[in-house]
Amino acid sequence: MEKKGLFYDRFASEFDAKMNMYDTDKRLEVVFERLFKSGELKGKVLLDAGSGTGWFSRRAVELGARVTSLDVGEKILNEVKKKCDTVRVVGDVTNLKFPDRSFDCIVSTEVIEHTPDPAKAIKEMSRVIKKGGVLALTVPNRAWHFAVVIGNALKLRPYEGFENWVRYGWLKKELEKNGFRVVEQFGFHALPFVSPKLYGVIDRLDKYGGGLLGRFMVNIAVRAEKE
């Protein structure tokens, strides 16, 4: 895998200290309290596609799922091991090494944009999920990509990996093209979460994520079911 794809694995041990836990906690809430229904994960075989250091894998395990955590390198999967007991697999979400229809559910949060081909990642997730299976996906909105361009130019963020953000409408069409039915799609984080002073405002605006405003929020969330 090329150097860009392995960016996160290179500083895996520092990842949790550097991440914005406000954002992580918000995404945990979005995925496990909004996209999945209460009790839905108990006994299900779930793929955490792009597990990072394991926050989403851990929550899925706590909710009774049998979890496979997949990410790009051993270092980052070692961080998952510290949080929960899962099957850990080094791999690439654009080329999943699993048989067709292997999983009941897939979680993939802020992952597909960090690949060279987000469409291929969606195609692969469609291949490995069972009929009727649920995909819970979050991704940053292409409408806000200018903010990271500015941040990178000013050397305000140390990110060197892929940043192939996708558009709100494109995401729905691509999921449908790959055999998913989009049950729910909405935006969250109406503003960049750069200052704790804004968190309260951002939380209050989240309730408008399902309307027109949601199409222009910083992040997109989707629950899609495989037909």
What's the mean per-residue pLDDT of the chain? 91
The pTM (predicted TM-score) of the whole model is 0.91
- Given a contact cutoff of 8 angstroms between Cβ atoms, the answer to whether 191 and 205 are in contact is yes
Q: Which two tokens stand for residue 219?
A: 């992040």
Q: Tens of pLDDT along 186-215?
A: 999 999 988 899 999 999 999 999 999 999
How many residues in the chain?
A: 227
Task: Return the pLDDT at 41.
Answer: 98
User: Tell me, what CATH number does 203's domain have?
Assistant: 3.40.50.150
- pLDDT for the residue 35: 98
Tell me the percentage of the chain whose pLDDT exceeds 90.
80
Beta partners for 70? Answer: 49, 89
pLDDT of residue 19: 73
Q: How large is the average pLDDT for residues 26-49?
A: 97
Read off the pLDDT of residues 161-186 as tens digits, 9 standing for 90 and up. 678 899 999 999 999 999 999 999 99
Domain count, the chain: 1
40-91 per-position pLDDT tens digit: 999 999 999 999 999 999 999 999 999 999 999 999 999 999 999 999 999 9
pLDDT recorded at residue 39: 96
Side chain identity at residue 200, one-letter code:
G
Q: What is the CA angle 166-21-81, rounded to 5?
A: 90
The pLDDT tens digits of the residues spanning 130-173 come to 999 999 999 999 998 777 666 666 555 556 667 889 999 999 99
* Residue 4, phi-psi category: left (phi > 0), alpha (psi -120 to 50), beta (remainder): alpha
Range of the domain at 77: 3-226
DSSP codes joined into one string, 87-130: EEEE-BTTB--S-TT-EEEEEEES-GGGSS-HHHHHHHHHHHEE
